[in-house]
Structure 1
Amino acid sequence: MNHQFERLERTKVFRDPIYGYINVDYKIIARLIDTYEFQRLRRIRQLSGVSMVFQTAEHSRFTHSLGAYELANLCVKGIEGLKESLTEYEQLVFLISALLHDVGHGPYSHAFEHVMQVSHEEMTVRLIVGNTEINQVLKEIPGMAKDVASVIAHEGKYPLIEALTSSQLDVDRMDYLSRDAYFTGACYGNIDFRRIIRSLLVLDGKLYLRASGVNSVESYIMARYHMYWQVYYHPVARAYELLLQSIYKRVYDLTTNNLNINASVSALINVIKDSNDLDSYVLLDDSYVNGMIKQLTSVDDEILKDLALSFEKRHLYKYKELVTEADEIYLNEIKKVIPSKYLPYYYIETKVSQRAYLHVEEDKYDINDIKIITQQHEIISLEEYSPIIRGLISSATKTSIRVFYKEIPCQK
């Protein structure tokens, strides 16, 4: 065996409530887990503001990333034809891509992305190919950093690996649904991932699902749909994240206008000025932001101070669903009394949509298209085979428009 693919003398394990054990056989995987950038994920919550509603949702991006890696491991061992379709190098590309897929997440994740206008996938690629400990480990295997980055960026070099890493049916989604359901206590996300893996097979370099596994995938798709509306889009969780988003935005606005904040936020300001500043970026985690907000409760800027105090005391935005004309009239009256300088931070209109299943055109290959192999060896799309999926495509697209608002300090 090539020394670059050395295995550990004894399998390293992490105890895990979802899989029992997470198994690490390759030395390179163990070394990647020990890098500074990956260990940083211990200090970033997986679900951000959701823990304000589901108080046991304290799990981290670290545990989810290990879980996605373990599912990739189970896929290599359990999906018929996968191991034979990938060289050992390509198997490692898959395992490492699953492990590192979230390494670029910022503190409190999606609120951070919205203000900084840079996706966590893009930051993940930068951390993989940039001057980081992760890159130092990966570059010992020629081409590995570039190939893992190509999977994260969906460049199409490894379509089979991309399908298993980031599609409608992938190791990322299967882990976060199972893990988030476990830690929130919500029953919606419980899925039979072992049955799904057992039902998948690879033929001619493409991923297929046996007809016998359709019920498990239908359940998985419904679970994801319900988890979004019952957990991820919960209005109180959204209110918490939007409050944090407003704090980020106010810091961003003050910084870009060269106004002094009177608080130690240098790493955040460095990233605001240059998102390629990886040394500053990896300093940002939930602990950093919590400490920063505590400092912001005593700054001179009244907007930033009020937002920080509201975050600390859990004085969240009020919200109203925009459904009728009366709702719109009511919200316009609220908007009128908020002074213009407060408006971008104290009145936020949001629109979220979720489709249960993404329809894919038949005449083109797409990693999101789940193909079924029937008992008669016919290959057809999942939506053609399953009346449940056809029903979801036609009816289960839901949109919610909410307005979040808060009183200005002088009104309290």
Structure 2
Amino acid sequence: MIEKVFRDPVHNYIHVENQVIYDLINTKEFQRLRRIKQLGTSGYTFHGGEHSRFSHCLGAYEIARRITQIFDEKYQDDWDHHESLLVMVTALLHDVGHGAYSHTFERLFDTDHEEITRQIITSPETEINQVLRQLAPDFPEKVASVINHTYPNKQVVQLISSQIDVDRMDYLLRDSYFTGASYGQFDLTRILRVIRPVAQGIAFKRNGMHAVEDYVLSRYQMYMQVYFHPASRAMEVLLQNLLKRAKFLYPDHKAYFATSSPNLLPFFEKKVELQDYLALDDGVMNTYFQVWMTSPDTILADLAQRFINRKVFKSIIFSEKNEKNLDLMRDLVAQVGFDPDYYTAIHRNFDLPYDFYRPEVKRPRTQIEIIQKDNHLAELSSLSPLVESLAGTRHGDNRFYFPKEMLTDTSIFSQQNQAFKAHIRNDHFIYGE
């Protein structure tokens, strides 16, 4: 085929040289990703963060294309060039199962975007599956097995899913670019020069160790400063409680939801087919929320307008030591007139920036290996004091969210407001946005 190019702000040009890749991009399931935001509610905090899963998947594909091109040219004894197309296809499709506001939606309606990704790839009903079967009848299953981490070639699996893979490398650079936060920048060009296939999977030459070290630190900073931002989490809490209220109301108000939000009915009824899932996107959900702003249910209407108009909840950081005092604060929220089931929430965000291989844990991570002068492999944190300081430790915080009104004195509820603020002071909570 004649090469196609996509202009991209992160990678300059994304090159498509294979007809199968181009056909996959043009399937309806992949085009749907244009309507799914990459950062979910973080766009309400970082106004530039409006980019889509579509652009991220293209970016992950482009990094995979560059890596496999290097492997094909320089490491023919260690890399099977027949695997290159599989890596590029899987990189392109790795997030195709993400849904509207995916992580919040998943928790409430018990969906799994990774499982749905596998269904989209393997279901004969999808255009993606039809394109993949043109390569070989078993090719969809191969792609699904890479995503499922069961594909036998560890090199292929680690390029798609490991502590330094094409997915993470693209989303750090892309999210950093669009949010305007410089924390996520790292030297991708250098990493591509030092990455190489080894018998156990993927490793990096010693002279590029500092670029890999910088990548790990960039990932840590992006989680602490962007992904775990308290305002983004406040919007996530609003979304969670809004959908929880709708789910609670549905059994007694089926006619209202059939009219106002018909594509959610299969999720309320717990009878979800693949096509039901694919019919939802961020735009559809936001339209439903705008309709709910005029709902006769005052809680649903209020939560909807708070979400649409970005009226964020406030929060305090708590520890295990003072968590027991949160019940008193919920009681004060109830006294003011807010139902604490929908106007408060505990939100926990923690991340493990880097971990060495620990086979005893439930989901052990593949550690980052550095190739030494004598060709033996050394784990990254054993060479880098900076990475060692992060290895094996979880970072983040616990937050209690509540309405902003609890911090505003009014003539009616002044006593409760004062008591609420006194608890923040006396129980040694840390106030945050």
Q: TM-score, normalised by structure 1?
A: 0.90
Instruction: Give the match for residue 178 of structure 2.
Output: 183
Matched position secondary structure for 2:17: strand
Instruction: Give the match for residue 278 of structure 2.
Output: 282
Q: Deviations over 1:254-292 (max 9, x none)?
A: 336675434432212213434641212111111101111
Work out whether 1:24 is the aligned partner of 2:16.
yes
Structure 2 stretches of 5 or more lacking a match?
407-411, 414-433
Work out whether 1:213 is the aligned partner of 2:208.
yes
Matched position secondary structure for 1:85: coil
Q: Pick from 274, 278, 287: which aligns with 1:291?
A: 287
Work out whether 1:270 is the aligned partner of 2:270.
no
| Change over 3 Å in CA distance of 1:242–1:224 after alignment to 2 | same
Instruction: Give the match for residue 107 of structure 2.
Output: 114
Instruction: Give the match for residue 354 of structure 1.
Output: 351
- Worse overlay, 317-326 or 235-244: 317-326
Cα shift at 1:328: 5.8
Aligned length: 401
Kept after mapping to 1: 8 A contact 2:241/2:342: yes
Work out whether 1:381 is the aligned partner of 2:374.
no
Q: Distance in 2 between matches of 1:318 and 1:328?
A: 19
Matched position secondary structure for 1:261: helix
Instruction: Give the match for residue 5 of structure 1.
Output: none
Instruction: Give the match for residue 94 of structure 1.
Output: 87
| Change over 3 Å in CA distance of 1:82–1:70 after alignment to 2 | farther
Q: Pick from 113, 128, 131: which aligns with 1:137?
A: 131
Kept after mapping to 1: 8 A contact 2:343/2:403: yes
Cα shift at 1:133: 1.3
Instruction: Give the match for residue 404 of structure 1.
Output: 401
Kept after mapping to 2: 8 A contact 1:210/1:372: yes
Q: Deviations over 1:274-317 (max 9, x none)?
A: 46412121111111011111111112222211111111221111
Kept after mapping to 1: 8 A contact 2:160/2:167: yes
Q: TM-score, normalised by structure 2?
A: 0.86
Instruction: Give the match for residue 127 of structure 1.
Output: 120
Kept after mapping to 2: 8 A contact 1:162/1:367: no
Q: Distance in 2 between matches of 1:296 and 1:209?
A: 52
Cα shift at 1:408: 9.4
Instruction: Give the match for residue 218 of structure 2.
Output: 223
Work out whether 1:81 is the aligned partner of 2:79.
no
Q: Distance in 2 between matches of 1:116 and 1:219?
A: 37
Kept after mapping to 1: 8 A contact 2:132/2:140: yes
Q: Distance in 2 between matches of 1:222 and 1:257?
A: 50
Work out whether 1:72 is the aligned partner of 2:95.
no
Kept after mapping to 2: 8 A contact 1:264/1:292: yes
- Provide the identity percentage: 37
Structure 1 stretches of 5 or more lacking a match?
1-7
| Change over 3 Å in CA distance of 1:63–1:192 after alignment to 2 | same
- Worse overlay, 353-362 or 258-267: 258-267
Q: Distance in 2 between matches of 1:152 and 1:206?
A: 16
Instruction: Give the match for residue 4 of structure 1.
Output: none
Instruction: Give the match for residue 47 of structure 1.
Output: 39
After superposition, the CA RMSD in angstroms is 2.7
Kept after mapping to 1: 8 A contact 2:356/2:365: no
Q: Distance in 2 between matches of 1:347 and 1:181?
A: 30
